[in-house]
A and B are shown apart, each in its own frame.
Chain A
């Protein structure tokens, strides 16, 4: 969790400027040496003044183009299966290999996924959309063109709200919105594997023709953190909908960033496109690096060229991509083998129409699951937990999906809710056990919530012992450590076996307290001199002696009483 929080926590504002000049950027040294980040953070979005240095501020502008692979059994236009890491060229139909005479047949599931996504992102769904061919020669594009939706995409004019933290503080979250220009359906390409040693290229067409949703975000963001937070929220939404597994590492979510900088009141600067970003963390880095690079380039009197750059995650910087064919003219043309894609709503749905043959937008809308924002609100409202905790619950669920490939089922929020149902402990206290103890254990062992050796039932059982003051929280942690081993014992059995019950014998406890006081003369002197903090050390020592079986509140009372005697 730490890494995730740290990322979101940096935050930034609308205006950047060169604070420390000449922050040299050398490959390998990383773009932002610590303490030299040339970023003026202003998370409230206000504009920073030019500052004492008198330099004109720069406004960075960031837009994203995101390709999300649709989670479907078969490809967008053919019946071949969709599967990650299958043997090369084992999932290739005649159409996927572009054998002459083959024709595309649109996959209904892919259309539904795009409609769902469009609705979840507040888009206008076009009841009539069109397919186009985009031409370019590439070894992993067998037809010599990609079928996409250039003229009239399936969804337009949406928005995505996302939250991010200000100044490293989880408690200070702001919500921002980025406009979604459009969502278009298109084919994925195959994969080229360049074998430089033998100077040959191997082509794997398993991915060729898999359905993609291309989401174009308007340039409403201004730094890496915002871009990262927006993508994280999008990822969560896609996974909640099940429209994409959206695992960046598996290429199911590919993000390209368009970056430019300009002075206030001036038109947008020339933008560059940054590609080859394969994690959200790198997205933030790549965008920030590119902003900084452009500011420096312009500051040095240079110019920015409209180019495509690749993010090098090892060097932490962007480098110009080898421009293979110069400027591409994609020679777009309507796809003649696919009639316009017509969608219906309750109003336009023709009577006597076979429902298997039409897609009803309203029907899909009614069946949308709770989106992450709604889920979070419900968690906060129902259980009184902090908003940032609701974020953690859901974000972690998202990370989980990367491994488990089961979206939206048996995740962390559900685990939390199940524990709450089975315990008298207040949800506000339960959340601590979930976020600190359960999470750190699962993370340490790379386990999914489902794989947790401690079920929600067992954890609730344990928390009940704690709540009933039968064990101390220190003992509870010890029991939990035992439970992780998964030996099939109940918390109560473990408590008994390890003798972790709270010491009920007051006399015995008093003796132990006395022994501690007797052995710590210096500390006693300090306390008597007024340094009450030292008392905690004595409490700790009593806990140690009792192996965590003493009630700290009671111990404190006893010690205080004895010291004041």
Chain B
């Protein structure tokens, strides 16, 4: 039951095979027994059970609020949740309880979803490993899977297991791990440079970054306002479409959302890709791309070819400038966005009281980690009057060129782009932290970042397991606001590759429990 998809479990709820409370309790129990993953910063057991109870009443009355009613979900801890701590995995906001719900959170709650908790991330979503938050790194559930254990070098000591666990990717690693380990049926992430798709790829789940402006950012604590998009993490493409349908649309509180109405859609059961043109951008054959992934990518292209689709090599020549350009734009906005954390209105405030300025300085030094402070520093440098033209304006121009590249390709008749999501499978934590955050982010965002520059929708679809038994995903990038086409292709591909289910001892144990419970319940 816990391992089924959102749509399946929703059907089970509808048919009364399981109640929202039972489902919620099972998830909470699994969260407890997978605590070592560190996927959640806050588990909202009490409110979740209350919400489940409410859902149960509605379902009993035969008046559910929709497909999400009673479905346990998790939300990345950079979305505001009224009455529930919102920390951004930072000392700055530790203990901060927001007075309002982010629009996306409100929408989920309004549709009866049960919020289990807030998931872990890199501090203020700055990172690609989910290793740089004050609550510690998130562990990839696949580290504990039968598949990984079997393939990795034989070990006898538990110490080795401690040594070998791999990262989730980031920065929405907590959300990806939560969905991957079956503790919830869907989770919200955020995606600025790949923060939803990257951990989705490493954790073997679907990660959708919708078109910029399709989903409200109101209540999402910003990283880069002009690129941030709430992300959707689910077990399958159909579920992503369900979530998208419940979240998308104009929000009067976010002036950057589009005015047009969004019509939720269902994906065809038997998608047809034969009339499509799939573009393979050659620049995504980037240095450092593992041979495994390269061959998967090529096999995927063949799948489309064999299905009758046109597969063409395309060029996005400015993609290679994307990372350096992102570095300037991101840090500049970070410098600006972080200016509000001064210890006055909310959040951490230092005890240093010599002067207002010294209080600011101490507050910010104590509240932010090195990564955040580093980005603030470089961002302010790029925004200095003497540097603005040289860096910021230039980066904006390059950004336009990057976006134009996509425009040209899509204008030439290509429908969807197919690329890898990551350069390799997930690396062990010990290896990951050998490099600093900046270097890591630069490498890890390389295949995902350009879509954010251009505001395009993109999705990671889990594709296969690597030689080490870890998930590898491929990315589809679509035209702006053409989510339906993008997801249709993704669903078709998902069906072709039959990505294996993670074999996780804890989840299996809990899930059997549900079935036993089911049995006894039905016999009583």
Chain A interface (Cβ < 8 Å from any Cβ of B): 94, 97-106, 133, 135, 137, 139, 142-145, 201, 203, 329-333, 336-339, 357
In the complex, chain A residues whose CB is within 8 Å of the CB of B346: 97, 99-100
User: Can you sample 5 A-B contacts with CB below 8 Å?
Assistant: A99-B345, A142-B342, A333-B383, A333-B392, A336-B224
Interface contact A101-B221, CB-CB below 8 Å: yes
Find the B residue at minimum CB distance from A98: B340
Interface contact B255-A338, CB-CB below 8 Å: yes
In the complex, chain A residues whose CB is within 8 Å of the CB of B99: 94, 99
In the complex, chain B residues whose CB is within 8 Å of the CB of A100: 80, 86, 88, 93, 98, 221-222, 340-341, 346
Known: A94-B99, A101-B220, A105-B252. A336 touches B333 (CB 8 A): yes
Q: How far is the CA of A104 from the CA of B255 in the complex (A)?
A: 7
Closest CB in chain B relative to A341 CB, distance in Å: 10
Q: Which 3 A-B pairs have the closest CB atoms?
A: A144-B339, A331-B383, A336-B225
Interface contact A145-B339, CB-CB below 8 Å: yes
Interface contact A137-B339, CB-CB below 8 Å: yes
Q: How far is the CA of A97 from the CA of B346 in the complex (A)?
A: 9
Interface contact B252-A139, CB-CB below 8 Å: no
Interface contact A101-B356, CB-CB below 8 Å: no
Interface contact A137-B93, CB-CB below 8 Å: no
Interface contact B254-A135, CB-CB below 8 Å: no
Interface contact A142-B340, CB-CB below 8 Å: yes
Q: How far is the CA of A338 from the CA of B253 in the complex (A)?
A: 11
Interface contact B344-A139, CB-CB below 8 Å: yes
Q: How far is the CA of A145 from the CA of B356 in the complex (A)?
A: 17
Known: A94-B99, A144-B339, A329-B385. A103 touches B380 (CB 8 A): no
Find the A residue at minimum CB distance from B347: A100
Q: In the complex, which of the residues B255, B336, B341 contacts A333, with contact meaning CB atoms closer than 8 Å? A: B336
Closest CB in chain A relative to B384 CB, distance in Å: 5
Closest CB in chain B relative to A229 CB, distance in Å: 36
Q: In the complex, which of the residues A94, A103, A333, A339 contacts B332, with contact meaning CB atoms closer than 8 Å? A: A333
Task: Report how many A-B pairs have Cβ atoms within 8 Å.
Answer: 103
Interface flags for B250-271 (1: CB within 8 Å of A; 0: not) read 0011111001000000000000
Interface contact B100-A337, CB-CB below 8 Å: no
In the complex, chain A residues whose CB is within 8 Å of the CB of B254: 103, 337
Q: How far is the CA of A303 from the CA of B332 in the complex (A)?
A: 38
Closest CB in chain A relative to B89 CB, distance in Å: 13
Interface contact A336-B226, CB-CB below 8 Å: yes
Chain B interface category by residue count: 35 or more
Q: In the complex, which of the residues B80, B259, B341 contacts A101, with contact meaning CB atoms closer than 8 Å? A: B80
Q: How far is the CA of A333 from the CA of B396 in the complex (A)?
A: 11
Q: How far is the CA of A105 from the CA of B216 in the complex (A)?
A: 13
Q: How far is the CA of A101 from the CA of B336 in the complex (A)?
A: 13
Interface contact B335-A97, CB-CB below 8 Å: no
Closest CB in chain B relative to A419 CB, distance in Å: 50
Known: A145-B339, A329-B384, A331-B335. A106 touches B345 (CB 8 A): no
Closest CB in chain A relative to B79 CB, distance in Å: 8
Q: In the complex, which of the residues A99, A101, A139, A339 contacts B222, with contact meaning CB atoms closer than 8 Å? A: A101
Does B73 sit at the interface, judged by CB under 8 A? no
Closest CB in chain B relative to A478 CB, distance in Å: 64
Closest CB in chain A relative to B101 CB, distance in Å: 10
Interface contact A144-B255, CB-CB below 8 Å: no
Query: What 10 new A-B contacts, CB under 8 Å, besides A100-B340, A101-B221, A103-B256?
Result: A98-B345, A99-B100, A99-B345, A100-B98, A100-B222, A137-B360, A142-B340, A144-B340, A145-B339, A332-B385
Closest CB in chain A relative to B493 CB, distance in Å: 33
Find the B residue at minimum CB distance from A142: B345
- Name B351-382 residues within 8 Å CB distance of A: 356-357, 360, 380
Known: A142-B344, A142-B345, A143-B340. A135 touches B383 (CB 8 A): yes
- Name B59-110 residues within 8 Å CB distance of A: 79-80, 86, 88, 93, 98-100, 102
Does B235 sit at the interface, judged by CB under 8 A? no
Does B3 sit at the interface, judged by CB under 8 A? no
In the complex, chain A residues whose CB is within 8 Å of the CB of B345: 97-99, 142
Does B127 sit at the interface, judged by CB under 8 A? no
In the complex, chain B residues whose CB is within 8 Å of the CB of A143: 339-340
Interface contact B253-A333, CB-CB below 8 Å: no
Residue of A94, A100, A139 with most chain B CB atoms under a 10 A cut-off: A100
Q: How far is the CA of A143 from the CA of B340 in the complex (A)?
A: 4
Find the A residue at minimum CB distance from B259: A357
Q: How far is the CA of A357 from the CA of B219 in the complex (A)?
A: 24
In the complex, chain A residues whose CB is within 8 Å of the CB of B344: 139, 142, 203
Q: In the complex, which of the residues A98, A101, A142, A330 contacts B218, with contact meaning CB atoms closer than 8 Å? A: A101
Q: How far is the CA of A330 from the CA of B388 in the complex (A)?
A: 11
Closest CB in chain A relative to B23 CB, distance in Å: 29
In the complex, chain A residues whose CB is within 8 Å of the CB of B333: 333, 336
Interface contact A144-B342, CB-CB below 8 Å: yes
Closest CB in chain B relative to A110 CB, distance in Å: 14
Q: How far is the CA of A104 from the CA of B253 in the complex (A)?
A: 8
Interface contact B100-A139, CB-CB below 8 Å: no
In the complex, chain B residues whose CB is within 8 Å of the CB of A102: 218-219
Find the A residue at minimum CB distance from B222: A101
In the complex, chain A residues whose CB is within 8 Å of the CB of B225: 336-337
Interface contact B383-A332, CB-CB below 8 Å: yes
Known: A100-B80, A142-B345, A333-B336. A339 touches B256 (CB 8 A): yes
Find the A residue at minimum CB distance from B381: A331
Q: How far is the CA of A201 from the CA of B392 in the complex (A)?
A: 35
Does B217 sit at the interface, judged by CB under 8 A? yes
Q: How far is the CA of A337 from the CA of B255 in the complex (A)?
A: 7
Closest CB in chain A relative to B301 CB, distance in Å: 36
Find the A residue at minimum CB distance from B224: A336
Interface flags for B325-345 (1: CB within 8 Å of A; 0: not) read 000000011011011111011
Q: How far is the CA of A331 from the CA of B338 in the complex (A)?
A: 14
In the complex, chain B residues whose CB is within 8 Å of the CB of A105: 252-253, 255
In the complex, chain B residues whose CB is within 8 Å of the CB of A97: 345-346
